[in-house]
Structure 1
Amino acid sequence: MIAPPVEVHLDDERLGLVRVGILHPSFTGRNLASSSFQYDESYLAAPGAFAVSPDLPLVTGRLWMPETHALPGAFEDASPDEWGQRLIEANHAERRKRDSSVPALRGAWDHLLGVSDASRLGALRFRATGAGEWLSSDGGVANIHEIDRVVRVAARYEAEDASEDDLAYLSDIATSPGGARPKANVRRADGRLALAKLPHSKDGDLDVERWEALGLTLAARAGIATSEWTLHRASGEKSVLIVDRFDRTLDGSRTAYISAASALGIGANDLSRYTYEQFSDVVNDLSADPREDLREMFSRIALTVLINNVDDHWRNHGFLRTRRGWRLAPVFDINPSTSSGVTASRPISDRDDPRARDLANLLDVADAFSLAREEGARIIRAVADQVRTWPEVAEGLGIPERQRRRMARAFDEDRIAAALVLA
């Protein structure tokens, strides 16, 4: 299958809107097998030009992706995850029903180009060579006042009861967010772009989004960088968590983003290989302020363990491009969990068991995070001191008592007590 290359542009605060190069696809049948990228000479010569992806160094000539990566890392980050892919595929299937001339979906290539340009994560933008229209030109954002409609339409889609109009509506506003849970892009009353995290049909009687708000509250109280957020009561005991997009400035400008997976150079099937200790080397090499970001990462690991956040894969960490270079993005997707024995959690070090992570192992590798042992112990104690207030925080957020009893296992009392006396 042959598909034309696309122009790749960067919408950067310092450089402005600039074309950075051309992305060429390579197919095996209908699936994207690989791709190659070539920087424009004009971009390479521009003052302040930077590599838009860690696997795309600033060199002349064609750069080919290895077999493990169909797309460069930052381009994978700009593509949808499971939720967005499903919407693109469902909407595409409806279009083919109406018009048999619509070509079959081309896997990751059409996923990348099917995301709304208005809400695509990061600062990369795509369009056909010589064209004026961005890909995709779908609307991309719902008004904050539409949030109840968004919840209803997403629920119908999950129940496999969505109409053609429902699919078109969701495809406009909900293809860019990552992850498997339902989400949509919304515009706040003051114009800020935000991500609405919606209830899931599999949540049962648990208000998952309100528990994530608890995780964000504990993080902020522990001095960890978070985005601003609000809660909206959807129906009954379910909520929508509305989180400001950290890749957009207050005036709506875009900020380049790469995930930790891209920084590590790992593909979708290799997300569990690396430890947090190994990731500290990446932060040290990539960050414009490694000492501050290593300290921040150390605090986040302590919080992750203390609230039993088991969904801490490498796409749930990332970096934003600032005027000085790459910095850790605010923490996101931190969800307390009662799950135990989860092997897919990130191990702290080679000595750590991901099924039962131990903060003593974090303290043992404090030097990897440019911390003296005493300072590492102080940070862990400070985070634990905030985590132990979770019952009061939960009550303040209006989480019912029966949910608090059910979720208590996430906040293991013995683990918190041990963290409070680490030295």
Structure 2
Amino acid sequence: MGYLRRGESFELDPVSLALGERESIRGKVLFPVNGLGEFGGIRDAAPDAWGRRVIEARLKAPANGLLEVEYLLHAGGDRVGALDVREDIKSPDSASASDMHSLEYVLQASEAVENGAPVPTNLERFLGSGPSAGGARPKASVRDGDGALWLAKFPANGDRFDVARAESCTLELARRCGLTVPEVRHQDIGGRPVMLIRRFDRYWSQVGQKPPEGALHDTRPGEGRIEGRLPFVSGLTLTACSELESPDKTYADLGRAIHKYVHLDRVKADGEEMFARMVFNIFVTNDDDHLRNHGFIRDPRRNGWVLSPLYDVVPHPVLASERRLHLGVGEHGKLATLDNALSHYAAFMPARPTAIGIMRRVWGEVREWMTCFEEHGADKKLLDQLSRAFRDISDIASPGLEAEIRRGT
């Protein structure tokens, strides 16, 4: 009830905890929608698979041996989004990110966790960086010399190619396609490839001022500036479903969620970008496009939700000529073709020519993927390993649609 009285309060979960009718919910017990076991906005602040493993290693607990509230408490102050969880209001901040200079030690600690080995005593303090971000792969939050927060993504056992280089190059390719991508770096740490990506849920602005127009993830620390936290919810939350229900959802569901929950100023641009991301995923065979890999942040300049920058995009080389994404694409389910994507364009934008133009723009960049990858450090071995992931337009478009897309080039 005290939260509702705060002037700066907002919905932590725009689906289950909407604040449009504050008086109607004051003093009432609220429950998650659709019979979910937890509120999505709180679930998004909890550690995912990798973070849980790190917490278990730090507390010397067996796999899944802690109460859910313990995982939530131990995720640390650098967790994704603006929500923090502490034992009480007087508990100190538990910021956990290491600095860039300690990255090799963080990597070594992460390798011990992944291998199920005891973490050496001298490395235990570097485990605090690990629980702050989602996903199953090894990763940790780190701060650069200026204090900006980054996510470091490490190699995993069983990698068949340099995933760090592949992901960083793919994100740079997505940037060329006009998609919103944070700053990305690739570093060699102790002979191991590591990708670094700016955390888009943090921004820097002058004390007492809203941040300037432009990309919040591009703001930098500086004199008189403080770090702000951006609320974050996943696609799971905005589509009001559980992890198990994610494969039953579609890109059109995300498109409808954008029209319902995103700030009016951004509905058009974000709807078109979501469609472009689907098309991009089809071209590069990114079939790990589940709902946790789509996110939304709350923009303090608009006091509303907007589509987050792109993240977790890795090509998947496969032999099959007929491919599917995790989420439904169109009338033919998950089938990864441009015709299928076009069948549901109206969930993202009103005009079919706009959808065709987006396909044309994405194809125009993706067909030069090798050049982009080479410019960002990919060697011939990696190009050969990834070549089966990238689709030629004739593989994923009917002759009529291909001709329509080509006409504008």
TM range (shorter): 0.7 to 0.9
Contact 1:309 1:336 in 2 (8 A): yes
Take 2:390 and 2:277, find their aligned partners in 1: how far apart are those partners? 15
Aligned to 1:297: 274
Given the superposition, is the C-alpha separation of residues 243 and 140 from structure 1 closer, same or farther in structure 2, using an over 3 Å criterion? same
User: Is the Cα–Cα contact under 8 Å of residues 196 and 240 in structure 1 kept in the other structure?
Assistant: yes
Query: Match for residue 120 of structure 1?
Result: 79
Q: Does 1:307 align with 2:284?
A: yes
SS of 1:126's equivalent?
coil
Equivalent in the alignment of 1:214: 169
Counterparts in 2 of 1:300 and 1:160: CA distance versus 1, 3 Å:
same
CA contact (8 A) 1:385 1:420 kept: no
**Post-superposition offset of 1:145:** 1.2
Alignment of 1:67-78 (within 5 A): 68-78=35-45
Larger fraction in strand: 1
Q: Give the Å deviation of 1:149.
A: 2.0
Cα distance per residue 1:78-124 (max 9 Å; x no partner): 01110010111222226x9xxxxxxx95432111111111x111111
* 2:217 aligned partner: none
3-state DSSP of counterpart to 1:63: coil
For 1:163 and 1:45, the matched residues in 2 are separated by 46
Q: Go from structure 1 to structure 2 and tell me whether the alpha carbon gap of 1:222 and 1:361 turns closer, same or farther (over 3 Å shift).
A: same
TM-score by length of 2: 0.84
TM-score, reference length from structure 1: 0.81
Q: Is 1:271 matched up with 2:267?
A: no
Cα distance in 2 for partners of 1:300, 1:420 equals 19
Query: Partner of 2:258 in structure 1?
Result: 283
Equivalences for 1:48-197 in 2 at 5 Å?
Answer: 48-53=8-13, 54-58=15-19, 59-60=25-26, 61-65=28-32, 68-93=35-60, 105-117=65-77, 119-129=78-88, 131-134=89-92, 138-165=94-121, 168-197=124-153
CA displacement 1:198-242 (0-9 Å, x = unmatched): 1112114x1101111111111111111111111111355x42111
Cα offset, 1:344, TM superposition: 6.3
Q: CA deviation at 1:252?
A: 1.8
CA pair 292-198 structure 1, distance change in 2 beyond 3 A: same
Q: Contact 1:151–1:198 at 8 Å: present in 2 too?
A: yes
Of 287, 294, 297 in structure 2, the residue corresponding to residue 320 of structure 1 is 297
The answer to whether the 8 Å contact 1:283/1:293 transfers is yes
Tell me if the contact between 1:87 and 1:170 (Cα under 8 Å) persists in the aligned partners.
no
Alpha-carbon shift at residue 171 of structure 1 (Å): 3.0
**Contact kept in structure 2, 1:364 and 1:373, CA below 8 Å:** no
Check whether the contact 2:73–2:87 (CA below 8 A) recurs between aligned residues: no
State whether residues 170 and 313 of structure 2, in contact with CA within 8 Å, keep that contact through their aligned partners in structure 1: yes
- State yes or no: 1:373 paired with 2:327: no
Alpha-carbon distance in 2 for matches of 1:396, 1:342: 28
Contact 2:298–2:305 (CA under 8 A) maintained in structure 1: yes
Q: Check the 8 A contact 2:165/2:378 in 1, yes or no.
A: yes
Do the aligned partners of residues 420 and 395 (structure 1) sit closer, same or farther apart at CA in structure 2, a change above 3 Å counting? farther
Deviation at 1:69, TM superposition (A): 3.0
Q: 1:170 to 1:65 in 2, by over 3 A?
A: farther
How big is the shift at 1:343? Answer: 5.9
Whole-angstrom CA distance in 1 between matches of 2:4 and 2:333: 44
Q: Which of these residues, 361, 378, 385, is aligned with residue 340 of structure 2? A: 361
Amino acid at match of 1:132: K
Q: Residue 201 of structure 1 aligns with which residue? A: 157
1:247 to 183, 201, 220: 201
- Structure 1 residues 65, 282: CA separation in 2 closer, same or farther (over 3 Å shift)? closer
- Structure 1 distance, partners of 2:66, 2:167, is 35
After TM superposition, give the deviation of residue 138 of structure 1 in Å: 4.4
RMSD: 2.3
Q: Residue 222 of structure 1 contacts residue 382 of structure 1 at CA under 8 Å; is this kept in 2?
A: yes
Q: 1:344 to 1:408 in 2, by over 3 A?
A: closer
Task: Tell me how far apart the structure 2 counterparts of residues 334 and 393 of structure 1 sit (CA, whole Å).
Answer: 15
Residues 343 and 367 of structure 1, relative CA distance in 2, 3 Å threshold = closer
Richer in helix (by share): 2
By how many angstroms is 1:67 displaced?
8.4
Hey, what's the Cα distance between the residues in 1 that align with 2:328 and 2:308? 21
